[in-house]
Chains A and B, each alone.
Chain A
Amino acid sequence: MTQEIDNKRQRLLDMTEHPERYSEKEIEETMHDPELQDFLEMLALTKRAADPHRNDTADVEQEWQRFAAAHPQTTAHRFRRVAAAVTTGILVTGLAVAAIVKTSVSSKKQETVKTETLSKPVAVDTTKKATTTLPVDSISAKPKVYDNVPLQTLLNDMASYYHKKLVNQSGDKQNVRLYFEWDQRKSLEENIGLLNNFNRFDITVEGDNIILK
């Protein structure tokens, strides 16, 4: 090996440790030097062969959960199943709330204590709204389906329905598109809880505001 090639190799090795000491042009020239190609390739291969973490494995289940959370459309079919199960539970609760409201209206007495034990204050408001705008038996109405719709659209509809104002503090997360089945008989907090399960944004209810972070 000539002294010249020896010097070129030393320079290349120094570049791998201190690239900041060289101009981009110098590095490009060295990396494309025909006399260094075999050396560079074997050096890179040796780095990989010596890597103690080369055969590390990934936790596939964890990675799938992460991917699915970041891409709601991949879990829509699962989410539908979950939503269906939750809907059944809420339906029973909803009927119970409706029955109490109906009784209280007919007897013109305020059964506030009983109502509060069955649902949160916001849910009571929702139920009141339902009793004023919809017949009581419409409680079994199907959820409103948002398929590939921006989060902003869904939250604006919710804000309007629950008499809140949407405040976006998230930058462009409001443009995330998702699949969601909005059961309007559930409280705002319950629906927000389901949305937060996507793990892509943080939605909170503070006073009269729905805040997207």
Chain B
Amino acid sequence: MKENRTYIERLFRAHYQEMYHLAKCILMDDAESKDVVSEVFEQLLAHPIVLLPESETGYLMQAVRNRCRNVIAHKNVRERVERLLLNDEKSVSMFTEDQLVNRLTELIYQLEPPIRKQIVLLRFADEQTYQEIADALGVSKVTVYNHLSGAIDQLRQQLKKQRP
């Protein structure tokens, strides 16, 4: 029992950061992400298992993914669409692929015309409403929608070019 506690503490300290980062990429919420990681360790406490050193990371990351998907599945559809939470396996894998997300961040800054970059950043980094963005840029709300839609197409095409 004592050995299990020591074991949990070692796992916690070694993997927490990575697990938290993964959960946050999926859930986009600090508190919920911390809860998910805690629940994974709670589960290990309740049902002690010893992980092989080479499978520790894989097991813990998959446990985080599963719990995140479970959290999303229990949210009502309005919250899911508002926070853009998707819980299918393909989306979850994409969201947590650091290299892909980093590349996409770079591509956002290369969007043309520049108003598309502004709209993406005002909407997703500054969390402004579409009307606030329209007022700030002196355009209509429909124009904001159209530019954002165009930006998403452009980003997908750029990513497709770079991915095998």
A44 and B95 contacting across the interface, CB-CB below 8 Å:
yes
Q: Which of A24, A46, A53, A56 contacts B77 (CB 8 A)?
A: A24
B45 and A74 contacting across the interface, CB-CB below 8 Å:
yes
Q: Which of B34, B45, B123, B156 contacts A42 (CB 8 A)?
A: B156
Instruction: Judge whether A9 is part of the interface by a CB distance below 8 angstroms.
Output: yes
Instruction: Judge whether A135 is part of the interface by a CB distance below 8 angstroms.
Output: no
A17 to B84, CA, bound (A): 10
B77 and A73 contacting across the interface, CB-CB below 8 Å:
no
Instruction: Judge whether B63 is part of the interface by a CB distance below 8 angstroms.
Output: no
Q: Which of B8, B12, B37, B148 contacts A13 (CB 8 A)?
A: B148
Q: A16-B84, A60-B16 are in contact. Are A76 and B5 (CB under 8 A)?
A: yes
Instruction: Judge whether A43 is part of the interface by a CB distance below 8 angstroms.
Output: yes
A212 to B142, CA, bound (A): 58
> How far is the CB of B35 from the nearest CB of chain A, in Å?
11
A50 and B129 contacting across the interface, CB-CB below 8 Å:
no
B82 and A16 contacting across the interface, CB-CB below 8 Å:
yes
A55 to B24, CA, bound (A): 9
Which chain B residue has the least Cβ–Cβ distance from A148? B1
Interface centre among B25, B41, B90, B124 (most CB of A within 10 A): B124
Instruction: Judge whether B80 is part of the interface by a CB distance below 8 angstroms.
Output: yes
Q: List 27 A-B contacts (CB under 8 A).
A: A12-B81, A13-B130, A13-B148, A17-B82, A39-B152, A41-B91, A42-B152, A42-B155, A43-B84, A45-B104, A46-B104, A46-B108, A46-B151, A47-B28, A47-B84, A49-B104, A49-B108, A50-B123, A50-B124, A51-B124, A53-B30, A58-B20, A63-B16, A64-B12, A67-B12, A71-B45, A76-B2
Instruction: Judge whether A15 is part of the interface by a CB distance below 8 angstroms.
Output: yes
Instruction: Judge whether B139 is part of the interface by a CB distance below 8 angstroms.
Output: no
A60 and B17 contacting across the interface, CB-CB below 8 Å:
yes
Seen from chain B, the residues whose Cβ lies within 8 Å of a Cβ on chain A are 2, 5-6, 8-9, 12-13, 16-17, 20-21, 24-25, 28, 30, 34, 37-38, 41-42, 45, 76-82, 84-86, 90-91, 94-95, 100-102, 104-105, 108, 120-121, 123-125, 129-130, 142, 145-146, 148-149, 151-153, 155-156
> How far is the CB of A9 from the nearest CB of chain B, in Å?
5
Which of chain B's residues have a CB closer than 8 A to the CB of A70? 38
In A54-68, the 8 Å CB interface with B consists of 54-58, 60, 63-64, 67-68
Q: Which 6 pairs from chain A and chain B are nearest by CB?
A: A19-B78, A50-B124, A49-B104, A44-B84, A49-B105, A58-B20
A46 and B120 contacting across the interface, CB-CB below 8 Å:
yes
In A1-23, the 8 Å CB interface with B consists of 1, 6, 9-10, 12-17, 19-20, 22
A73 and B91 contacting across the interface, CB-CB below 8 Å:
no
Q: Which of A1, A16, A28, A44 contacts B86 (CB 8 A)?
A: A44
A64 and B16 contacting across the interface, CB-CB below 8 Å:
yes
Which chain A residue has the least Cβ–Cβ distance from B82? A19
B16 and A46 contacting across the interface, CB-CB below 8 Å:
no
Q: A50-B120, A74-B45 are in contact. Are A45 and B17 (CB under 8 A)?
A: no
